[in-house]
């Protein structure tokens, strides 16, 4: 039986871990990020991967860094045949990559070499890509630059949010991992080097990135709204009031960027650098998300200019 160690942290990784366990490939140990403050009360919270692993009785390691000889020794003691990584959040140094007999396998949420890095799902939507995928990659010391065993491609829906695409790719990642793991371990699949001329990078998403710039085109802003749903949520200001925009549609028309052209039960429409943006789902601080026809009863945007 193949001895697996699994490294992952968020919900995306949990789906791959669950797929392994349900297929009879229970890891001998799990690596995940230390507990972090979460929620309004900032209560120390275990990662989704840790929560799942503990329910299944899998030993959990939560090192702050992997550049620690005691951590390396602890991993060596598990004698892994392969280390599977999915959205772990820490870079694996070479002495960790060298531990497993069959190396380290990464489940990455893009069709490599497009969108190496921390936020490939958001990057694909922001760029207007028509497709993305899941890559099973042999890990090296660089950032997502190892040779690739297999890619499963999927189409990106025209109105699909990052959250919706995340869930589809997480499920696909678990399924692809289980389908190809045995062949990879047995040496029955060859990994192909990535084409360096086609590399693009997806940097980590910051909250400030989600500020709406009304001078951009309506088409680009719809992609931004989708890419930042659910995190961090596209936002703008009406005076001092912060408004989050969860869903939006580009429509034809023109006027001065940021000018609210309509705010009534038939919808909220704002002028952009090119075209108009129809705001379909919005949220005020302390309120729940609301469709436009309900939102206009909470605040009057008529004649305002959004920043």
Closest CA to 150 of 125, 132, 169, 177: 177
Cβ atoms of residues 66 and 88 within 8 Å: no
Q: What size, in residues, is the chain?
A: 307
Superfamily of domain 208-295, CATH level 4: Formyl transferase, C-terminal domain (3.10.25.10)
Domain segments of the chain as ranges: 4-202, 208-295
127-130 LR contacts (CB < 8 Å, sep 24+): 127/200, 127/223, 128/219, 128/223, 129/156, 130/155, 130/156
Region 154-170: mean pLDDT is: 98
Local structure of 289: helix, strand or coil: coil
Cβ atoms of residues 300 and 262 within 8 Å: no
- Assigned token pair, 241: 């009031």
Eight-class DSSP state of 226: H
Predicted confidence (pLDDT) per residue in 99-143, tens digit: 999 999 999 999 999 999 999 999 999 999 999 999 999 999 989
- Assigned token pair, 11: 């919900």
Cα distance between residue 163 and residue 226, in whole Å: 8
Cα distance between residue 38 and residue 34, in whole Å: 12
Cα distance between residue 307 and residue 303, in whole Å: 13
Cα distance between residue 112 and residue 192, in whole Å: 11
Predicted confidence (pLDDT) per residue in 180-221, tens digit: 999 999 999 999 999 999 999 999 999 999 999 999 999 999
- Cα dihedral: 39, 45, 46, 48 (round 10): -10
Cα distance between residue 210 and residue 161, in whole Å: 14
Cα distance between residue 243 and residue 141, in whole Å: 42
Cβ atoms of residues 174 and 16 within 8 Å: yes
Predicted confidence (pLDDT) per residue in 212-266, tens digit: 999 999 999 999 999 999 999 999 999 999 999 999 999 999 999 999 999 998 9
Predicted confidence (pLDDT) per residue in 49-74, tens digit: 999 999 999 999 999 999 999 999 99
What's the confidence (pLDDT) of residue 40? 76
- Assigned token pair, 189: 């699949």
- CATH of the structural domain 4-202, one choice from 2.40.10.10, 3.40.50.170, 1.10.1040.10, 3.40.50.300: 3.40.50.170
Strands 104-108 and 148-155 turn out to be unpaired
């Amino acid at each position: 039986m193949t001895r697996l160690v699994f490294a992952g942290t968020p919900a995306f990784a949990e789906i791959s871990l669950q797929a392994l366990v349900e297929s009879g490939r229970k890891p001998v140990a799990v690596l995940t990020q230390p507990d972090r403050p979460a929620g309004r009360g900032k209560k120390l919270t275990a990662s989704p991967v840790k929560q799942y692993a503990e329910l299944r009785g899998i030993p959990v390691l939560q090192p702050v860094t992997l550049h620690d000889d005691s951590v390396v020794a602890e991993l060596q003691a598990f004698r892994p045949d392969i280390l599977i990584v999915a959205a772990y959040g820490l870079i694996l140094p070479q002495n960790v990559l060298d531990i497993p007999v069959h190396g380290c396998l990464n489940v990455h949420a893009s069709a490599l070499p497009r969108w190496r890095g921390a936020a490939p799902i958001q990057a694909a939507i922001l760029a207007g890509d028509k497709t993305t995928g899941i890559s099973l990659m042999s890990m090296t010391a660089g950032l997502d630059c190892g040779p690739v065993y297999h890619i499963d491609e999927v189409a990106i829906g025209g109105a699909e949010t990052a959250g919706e695409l995340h869930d589809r790719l997480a499920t696909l990642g678990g399924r692809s991992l289980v389908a190809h793991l045995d062949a990879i371990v047995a040496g029955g699949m060859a990994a192909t080097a990535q084409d360096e001329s086609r590399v693009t990078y997806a940097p980590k998403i910051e909250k400030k990135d989600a500020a709406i710039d009304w001078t951009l085109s309506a088409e680009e802003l719809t992609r931004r709204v989708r890419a930042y749903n659910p995190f961090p949520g596209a936002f703008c200001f009406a005076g001092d009031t912060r408004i989050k925009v969860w869903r939006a549609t580009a429509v034809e028309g023109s006027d001065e960027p940021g000018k609210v052209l309509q705010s009534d039960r038939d919808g909220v429409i704002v002028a952009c650098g090119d075209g108009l943006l129809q705001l379909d789902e919005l949220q005020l601080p302390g309120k729940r998300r609301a469709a436009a026809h309900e939102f206009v009863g909470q605040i009057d945007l008529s004649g305002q200019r959004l920043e």
